[in-house]
């Protein structure tokens, strides 16, 4: 078993040897994954699973540095158990992450940037509550990605900076908090 794992690791590292930016290269990666989201400062809240899907374009600025722009549909929200009652807050966003990425070694990149997001829908246990939510969300995404050949594995944490709800709906100043794990396939243009 150890020999099999060692052989697999050697094969993966040899495939990933060319997985970094070429200066001036533009690529597009259709992306799909999962979100583990929550709302900060909400008592008794638990993480909620959701999907993330879209595409990310990347431009190679230098051999080890690139910038990317994404357009992602993102299911967010949380589950809450309060005084024996359980309810589900579902928030759907169209997020646009703009990130700088530095390739530490071939294939492995550290990422950070900004992410404006636009609320598409909001439901509390199926009831529409969009009118009580702020329509714009701003977050700071930070994370890592690893590229094997043209396959991109990405893990990031989106730190929400804007209040999710309007003051007349909730006096709590809660923000989105999202762990996102995606898989994409990069096409060079």
pLDDT digits (tens, 9 = 90+) for 98-130: 999 999 999 999 999 999 999 999 999 999 999
- The SS3 call for residue 152 is strand
Q: Where are the domains of the chain?
A: 2-188
- Let me know: does 96 contact 69? Beta carbons within 8 Å: yes
Q: Is 114 exposed, middle or buried (0-12, 13-18, 19+ CB in 10 A)?
A: middle
Q: What is the pLDDT of residues 144-157, one digit of tens each?
A: 999 999 999 999 99
pTM: 0.84
| 2-188 CATH fold | Porin (2.40.160)
| Of the listed ranges 20-29, 71-80, 127-136, 167-176, the one predicted with least confidence | 167-176
Nearest-angstrom CA–CA distance, 186 and 26: 10
């Amino acid at each position: 078993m150890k020999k099999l794992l060692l052989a697999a690791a050697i094969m993966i590292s040899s495939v990933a040897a060319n997985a970094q930016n070429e200066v001036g290269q533009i690529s597009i990666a259709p992306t799909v994954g999962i979100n583990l989201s929550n709302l900060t400062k909400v008592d008794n809240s638990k993480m909620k699973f959701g999907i993330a899907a879209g595409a990310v374009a990347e431009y190679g600025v230098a051999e080890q540095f690139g910038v990317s722009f994404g357009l992602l549909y993102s299911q967010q929200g949380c589950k809450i158990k309060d005084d024996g009652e359980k309810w589900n807050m579902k928030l759907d966003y169209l997020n646009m992450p703009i990130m700088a990425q530095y390739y530490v070694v071939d294939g492995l990149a550290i990422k950070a940037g900004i992410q404006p997001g636009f609320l598409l829908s909001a439901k509390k246990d199926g009831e529409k509550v969009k009118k009580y939510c702020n329509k714009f969300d701003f977050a700071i995404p930070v994370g890592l990605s690893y590229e094997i050949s043209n396959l991109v594995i990405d893990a990031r944490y989106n730190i929400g900076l804007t209040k999710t709800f309007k003051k007349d709906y909730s006096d709590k100043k809660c923000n989105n908090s999202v762990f996102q794990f995606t898989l994409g396939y990069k096409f060079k243009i």
